[in-house]
Amino acid sequence: MAHLIRLGIVGSESTHAEVFSRLANGDEKTLPLFEGVRVVALWGEPGKEERTRQVAEKCRIPRIVSSPEEMLGEVDAVMVVLRRGSQHRQYAAPFLKAGLAVYVDKPFAATVSDCRAMIALARQHGARLATFSTIRFDEEVQRLRKELPEVGTLLTGFIAGKADPSSEYDGLLFYGIHKAELLAELFGTEVTEVRAAETPGRITAVCRFSSGLMVTVAFLRDAGYQWVVAVVGSQASRTCTPGATASYIPAFGKFLEMVKTGTPILSEEQMVTPVRVIDAVVRSLRTKKPVRLR
């Protein structure tokens, strides 16, 4: 019999705790979609005890722990799915130090220094580390990525979607990170400069790449839970309208493959670049000047 991957979930407030747990454990209405893995432990944020109990009950998680560290020795991998990226380093660190496979939900962190610190811990202790917005693996996004060579020389790009700089969950990072992840997935990590401006209900950022390409990213407070991507090239143009819901399954599958093989999902720069971009957007808004990244 194949080894059962014992998975721990750190954080219950986010809907992702329930979504990922259901993929492994099923619930009262659905069977598990993945074999060989089971969520065996759940820790919930202080003050979210009822939510934690509901997730555990609905997703058939046998144990609720009083601290994340209680999972050590009982799990092979963990998914840190707190809503605030500013808390991710604190809660991921014990598992990275234990050399486990760790998924850190988007946003990776609230600061670039926290991102680098988690990567350093993973290197030091031989841990496997992944972080991404699942939207990267949306079927439409991957289709567009494969079609990019067909457009010829890239001339410009556009990404738009919901984001609220006043969000209680670390502001622009919370939903804004999805746009930055799409930027890195489709256009790469060589962002050299970000210039941002704000008008009521919207933030517009122009991201310059080392190649000279400029991609415009629109963060829209009042947009629905949706995204739009457009690419214009010298020979053709392409668009896509990804939705994060359908991407949970391939994203969870990629994490499990990393747990089994140890093969990284994204490069270190791919993991850090989205946070660097959002940080640059915020600094550009504050200073009213372009921000150099390289």
3 state SS of 155? strand
**Sign of the dihedral defined by the CA atoms of residues 255, 259, 263, 267, in that order:** positive
Alpha carbon distance 10, 66 (integer Å): 11
- Residue 243: band (very low, low, confident or very high) from pLDDT cuts 50, 70, 90: confident
- List beta partners, residue 238: 231
Tell me the average pLDDT across 76-102.
98
Nearest to 8, CA basis, from 96, 88, 51, 70: 70
Q: Is the pLDDT score of 34 beyond 50?
A: yes
Kindly report the average pLDDT of the chain as a whole number: 96
Residue 27 dihedral angles phi and psi, to the nearest 5°: -150, -165
Residue that is written with structure tokens 């930055």 in the block: 180
Q: Is the pLDDT score of 115 beyond 90?
A: yes
Tell me the average pLDDT across 204-219.
98
Tell me the average pLDDT across 137-156.
96
Q: Is the pLDDT score of 207 beyond 80?
A: yes
pLDDT score, position 60:
97
- Residue 2: band (very low, low, confident or very high) from pLDDT cuts 50, 70, 90: low
- Residue 225: band (very low, low, confident or very high) from pLDDT cuts 50, 70, 90: confident
Instruction: Give the domains, in start order, of the chain with CATH numbers.
Output: 5-134+246-264 (3.40.50.720), 135-243+276-292 (3.30.360.10)
> What does the chain come to in residues?
294
pLDDT score, position 71:
98
Cβ within 8 Å of residue 246, ≥6 positions away: 138, 139
Residue 88 dihedral angles phi and psi, to the nearest 5°: -65, -45
Task: Write down the H helix ranges in 43-196.
Answer: 49-58, 88-97, 112-125, 139-147, 173-187
Nearest to 148, CA basis, from 73, 82, 213, 219: 213
User: Please, are residues 163 and 135 in contact by the beta-carbon 8 Å criterion?
Assistant: no
User: Please, are residues 78 and 7 in contact by the beta-carbon 8 Å criterion?
Assistant: yes
Cβ within 8 Å of residue 149, ≥6 positions away: none
* Six-digit token string for 255: 């994490």
pLDDT tens by residue, 45-55: 999 999 999 99
Q: Is the pLDDT score of 78 beyond 60?
A: yes
pLDDT score, position 246:
75
pLDDT tens by residue, 253-282: 999 999 999 999 999 999 999 999 999 999
**Starting at the edge strand that comes first in sequence, how are the strands of the sheet with 77-80 ordered?**
37-43, 5-10, 77-80, 101-105, 128-132
On the question of a cis peptide bond just before residue 107, with omega within 30 degrees of 0, the verdict is yes
pLDDT score, position 1:
42
